Amino acid sequence: MSRCRVCQHALLEFFDFERQPLSSAFVAPDGTDDEFFFRLAVGMCESCALVQLIESVPPELAHHEGYPYHSAGSSVMTKHFEETARRFIETELTGPDPFVVEIGANDGVLLHTCGEAGIRHLAVEPSGAGTVRVHRAFFDAASAAAILATDGPADVVYSANTICSVPDLRPVFEGLDVLLASDGVFVFEDPYLGEILERTAFDQIYDEHVFFFTVRAVQALAERFGFVLADVERLPVHGGQIRYTVARAGRRTPTPAVAELLAEERELGLTDMATLEAFGRKIQGIRTELVALLHRLRAEGHTIAAYGATAKSSTIANYCGIGPDLVPYVCDTTPAKHGRLTPGSHIPVRPAAVFADPYPDYALLFAWNHAEEIMAKERAFREAGGRWILYVPHVHVV
Ligand SMILES: [Zn+2]
């Protein structure tokens, strides 16, 4: 039986995506024999209600270079990190000589913005590339103690799109216990199970996302390690996330937003197995519809390409069996992916410029979480008669 990574109780499985590759393992055309596959399935802990992957990717294969890196590459995300930094500066970093730490610094926008305001800052990241000051390590009690010795306690420890990828959360909370100032806060943002269910955004489920948080589960998680969930805030980024603010037990009174979202989760039955199993049936429905649509369009002689060779598109492509026979190529702006094949599904990745040369009749929008931005940028595609195929929250053509 599989056990909860946090409290060791049994996991109740509610959906199985079957055989899936590593979502970031784009393969060379002659390298498809060596691909690694695992069973991508999700379950909920019967005790603490934390939704998580049933099987883990072996640690030596999982994002070995450090915390998963999510390049902003997007003006929306750059603005988000700048605004978050300004918020911290106004609310949490107001004491004398404040100090902010970011776990997995993404592209460093947040810390850079804090730095411009004269605030001491540090990224904790094993791979440690980038323009901001970096402590090269995973965040745990040892690295936290080293930082405490040189920089003193942190007023804010922040992390975006990283905590949900850390299979063992105990060292993270042990590190927080060492490094956080007595009134300091740990603020993290990750995809929200409520939003994933609401949008049927099942492609958020892939090897790099181990946990799918709810307010209920994060509250239990924080309390387990001697902290309190002090505030929650829904964010529009990445298709819907929650920003959790965690403080030392007894140091902050939870805001009304915590109780409100807890009540909303109860009302929606977010951590009921019946709700999660209904989500699974919707995923099966999307597969049936999307595969039928692609087959019909191909049979009618239409050309189809995919847009955005994202890690999260790996789940849908493999679960639906979408290969180069249905979608002959996918356009992407990342040079390192060009000339390679999508993991498991083996769709060739072409440069973004190929998209308009000539435009396909239909474009399957894999990077749907940036739909608004992409559709604005690619307005000419739509004006030339092209149509977008989206599959979140349901299969539709626009
Ligand atoms: Zn548990």
Give me ligand 1 centre to Cα 268, in Å: 20
What pLDDT, on the 0 to 100 scale, is given for residue 238?
73
Give me ligand 1 centre to Cα 232, in Å: 21
Percent of the chain with pLDDT over 90: 84
Indicate whether 293 pLDDT > 70: yes
Give me ligand 1 centre to Cα 363, in Å: 41
Q: Name residues with Cβ closer than 5 Å to ligand 1, which is an ion.
A: 4, 6-7, 9, 45, 47-48
Give 72-81 pLDDT, tens digit per residue: 567 888 899 9
Q: Quote the CA–CA distance of 115 and 16 in Å, as a whole number.
A: 45
Give me ligand 1 centre to Cα 281, in Å: 24
Q: Tell me the backbone φ, ψ of residue 109, rounded to 5 degrees.
A: -60, -45
* Confidence at 300, pLDDT banded by 50, 70, 90: very high
What pLDDT, on the 0 to 100 scale, is given for residue 370?
83
What pLDDT, on the 0 to 100 scale, is given for residue 307?
97
Give 85-101 pLDDT, tens digit per residue: 999 999 999 999 999 99
What pLDDT, on the 0 to 100 scale, is given for residue 203?
87
Query: How much is the average pLDDT of 129-139?
Result: 85
**Structure tokens, 350:** 């072409």
* Stated length of the chain: 398
Give 343-391 pLDDT, tens digit per residue: 999 999 999 999 999 999 999 999 887 888 899 999 999 999 999 999 9
Q: Quote the CA–CA distance of 16 and 205 in Å, as a whole number.
A: 11
Which residue reads 């740990």 in tokens?
A: 186
Q: Which of 17-26, 237-246, 279-288 has the lowest mean pLDDT?
A: 237-246
What pLDDT, on the 0 to 100 scale, is given for residue 58?
80
With beta carbons less than 8 A apart as the criterion, state whether 117 and 99 touch: no
pTM: 0.91
What pLDDT, on the 0 to 100 scale, is given for residue 69?
61
Give me ligand 1 centre to Cα 321, in Å: 33
Give 60-72 pLDDT, tens digit per residue: 776 656 676 665 5
Give me ligand 1 centre to Cα 158, in Å: 24
Tell me the average pLDDT of the chain. 93
Which residues, 6 or more positions from 195, have their beta carbon under 8 angstroms from its beta carbon? Answer: 201, 234, 239, 240, 241
Indicate whether 128 pLDDT > 90: no
Which residue reads 């590339």 in tokens?
A: 129
What pLDDT, on the 0 to 100 scale, is given for residue 369?
79
Q: Which of 12-21, 127-136, 238-247 has the lowest mean pLDDT?
A: 127-136
Per-residue exposure over 196-223, b if at least 16 CB sit within 10 Å of its own CB, e if not: bbebbbbbbbbbbbbbbbbbbbbbbbbe
Q: Which residue has the higher pLDDT, 312 or 281?
A: 281
